[in-house]
Amino acid sequence: MSWAQAILLARGLSRGWGGICGAALMGPPFSQVSLQVPRGLHCSAAAHSSDLWLVPPPPPPPRGPTRALAPHEELFRQASDGVRDKANFVRAVQAFGQHNVHKRGHVDFIYLALRKMREYGVERDLAVYNLLLDVFPKEVFRPRSIFQSIFIHYPRQQECGIAVLEQMESHGLMPNKETEFLLIQIFGRKSYPMLKFVRMKLWFSRFKNINPFPVPRDLPQDPVDLATLGLRHIEPNLSARVTVYQMPSSRDSEGAADAPEPHIVGIQTPDQQAALARHNPARPIFVEGPFSLWLRDKCVYYHILRADLLPPEEREVEEIPEEWNLYYPMQLDLDYGRSAWDDYEFDIHKVEEGPIFAICMAGAHDQATLAKWIQGLQETNPALAQIPVVFCLAGSTGELLATSSGLEEPPPPPPEGQEEEEDNQQRQQQGQS
């Protein structure tokens, strides 16, 4: 073997080892870009294009219009019969074992199955992953001597096992005892897949409950339930009341003349109700939106009803009369000098914004729907009839619009259709109704 070939082989081997050691570690549950992607997964040791080739490789054959089939893809074709669900996937995986006892090409088959899982909708099913690990022949890849355990025994198979665990990790699945038993049976206790399994157990159990605002994994399909969940998620005050102003009506099969009514769900706390009752009718209040809220992987949009911040001279300071509570003073004016070591406040003026009176989620984002919401709000807030309501509806850019100067610049990428109108007719409507 010439020295060039030896160098290439050594380089390929070392890259392969580095690939295994890198992939066996835990990526964070959100996939960050790992700067050294394990290269050994899909290409063999010597066929790396960035190497210095002594002999230039032959030009690649011209690719035909159709993609070449992966080795065992026909197993997925015949088993599916058009319907892609868990039963068909399981059947395809089991068909592989029946065809050849020696399970030749099981590594490629497992990679293919990992890619196909998303189409069949089983990527979050732990039993399917265990079934996939079951495809490996048992007891063959366990190292039997010290030398075998020092040099990575069957590196391609270990990489494949790590790839299965890595896909489990990226979907947030916790492996169970069956996975552990399978891994020990296939690779032995000192292997890299087993190491990754131990790390997964450790870090997943550490990070299981760190979300202070957990969202259930199975989101409700009904839009009204989803809107209720979203509104309760946004509003920290537990005494808030959720009201459904309009249920979604399904389209009639005869082609009814009415447009389908979108759902309107609103939320308001008693404090907000009181603040709205106290609001000065001379100042307008704004309906702004839509803003986006992500629940797991679903995006819902909400609108808010808010007022501008009062300038400092108009803000009224609430005076509590001294005899309000005879047991203890409600307001203490003690002037103890607090020196710097006791001061936990930040030396910055926090952003202050005007009060928010209500939030709603609706199926449509146009003014007619939101007007219905305002009308519904009027039932619990009669003061709303006297207050002018201004609709500032923009494209969903996710920022609150500027108040005093209007929009300074057009918000970024999606072009927005902004409408802003005084509504005296709104007031008349409210006066009449």
Q: Within positions 170 to 199, which residues make up the interface with other proteins, using CB under 8 A?
A: 170, 195, 198-199
Query: Using the rule CB under 8 A, is 31 a contact of other proteins?
Result: yes
Contact 362, 303 (CB under 8 A): yes
| Region binding other proteins by CB under 8 A among candidate stretches 81-89, 125-133, 315-323, 399-407 | 399-407
By CB under 8 A, name the one of 9, 10, 28, 325 that touches other proteins. Answer: 28
Smallest distance, other proteins to C-beta of residue 78, A: 28
Phi, psi of 363, rounded to the nearest 5 degrees = -75, -30
Q: How far lies 369's CA from each of 1, 374, 376, in Å?
A: 78, 9, 11
Nearest to other proteins of 95, 356 (CB atom) = 356
3-state secondary structure (DSSP) of residue 106 = helix
Strands 298-307 and 356-362 come out as antiparallel
> Count residues contacting other proteins (CB under 8 A)?
72
Question: Which listed residue (347, 368, 425, 431) binds other proteins by CB under 8 A?
Answer: 347
Residue-wise burial string across 81-95, b where 16 or more C-beta atoms lie within 10 A, e elsewhere: eeebeeebbbebbee
**Selected binder of other proteins within 80, 148, 185, 397 (CB under 8 A):** 397
Helix, strand, or coil (residue 212):
coil
Query: d(Cα 68, Cα 299) in Å, to the nearest integer?
Result: 37
Where does this chain touch other proteins (CB under 8 A) — which range of 90-98, 143-151, 271-279, 285-293? 285-293
Closest CA to 200 of 164, 150, 151: 164
Sole window of 149-157, 219-227, 248-256, 291-299 interacting with other proteins (rule: CB under 8 A): 291-299
391: Cβ contacts below 8 Å, ≥ 6 apart: 286, 287, 367, 370, 419, 420, 421, 423
Return the residue of 402, 406, 419, 421 that touches other proteins, per CB under 8 A: 402
Q: Which is nearer to other proteins, 215 or 275 (CB)?
A: 215
The single residue among 56, 221, 341, 432 that binds other proteins, judged by CB under 8 A, is: 341
Give the chain's end-to-end CA distance (angstroms, integer): 94
210-239 residues near other proteins, rule: CB under 8 A? 210-213, 215, 230, 233-236
Token pair listed for 350:
């926090």
* 258 is a site residue for other proteins (CB under 8 A): no
User: What is the nearest approach in angstroms of other proteins to the Cβ of residue 310?
Assistant: 15
Q: Does residue 41 belong to the site contacting other proteins (CB under 8 A)?
A: yes
Cβ closer to other proteins: 90 or 359? 359
- Determine which residue in the list 94, 185, 378, 403 makes contact with other proteins, applying CB under 8 A: 403
